[in-house]
Amino acid sequence: MNTQRKTAGAIGLLAAGAVAGGILASTLGASAASTTPTSPPSASGSGQPGAGGHGPGGAQPMRNDEKLVTGTNLTTLTAAAQKAVPGATIIRVETDAGDGVYEAHMKKADGSLVTVKFDKDLKVTKVEQGMGQGDPRPANP
């Protein structure tokens, strides 16, 4: 009788593991199918282009006082940033709370990071090494 209980318990654990594994596999499959594409933005300019956020901070702004850029501004800023740093991949394009109005964080082919700063007219004002220099920290992080 005790052996039968152990066998039934083992079968139950195996069945539960198989069900959990199936749920996990389907969840991961659905997650992979819904990831952000790494192609340039569409004509509507509704999504962030480039590396899908592969870099420090990923695709989302690191600071609460900066917001992702969308629409035609994103398309214009992306093109200008890629012209300023040929061959680099966009990590994200966002508003800038520091010494620019907008900024594009990018990764160069050699793996180094740069930040392209823009003015209110969407014109490049400078290219900085790293993820941005001299930006003041927000008052309420």
Residues 6+ apart with CB under 8 A from 125: 100, 117, 118, 119
Judge whether residue 34 has pLDDT over 50.
no
Supply φ then ψ for residue 73, to 5 degrees. Answer: -60, -40
pLDDT at 69: 93
The string of pLDDT tens digits covering residues 109-132 is 999 999 999 999 999 999 999 877
Is the same domain home to 82 and 25? no
pLDDT at 20: 52
pLDDT at 57: 56
Is the same domain home to 129 and 82? yes
Side chain identity at 49, as an amino acid letter?
P
> pTM of this prediction?
0.57
The string of pLDDT tens digits covering residues 55-83 is 555 556 566 778 999 999 999 999 999 99
Is the same domain home to 63 and 22? no
User: What is the domain extent for residue 101?
Assistant: 39-141
Is the same domain home to 51 and 82? yes
pLDDT at 109: 94
Tell me if 56 sits within 8 A of 131, measured CB to CB. Answer: yes
Four-point Cα dihedral 21, 22, 23, 29, nearest 10: 110
pLDDT at 40: 39
Which CATH number belongs to the domain containing residue 86 in this structure? 3.30.505.20
Tally the domains of the chain. Answer: 2
Is the same domain home to 113 and 49? yes
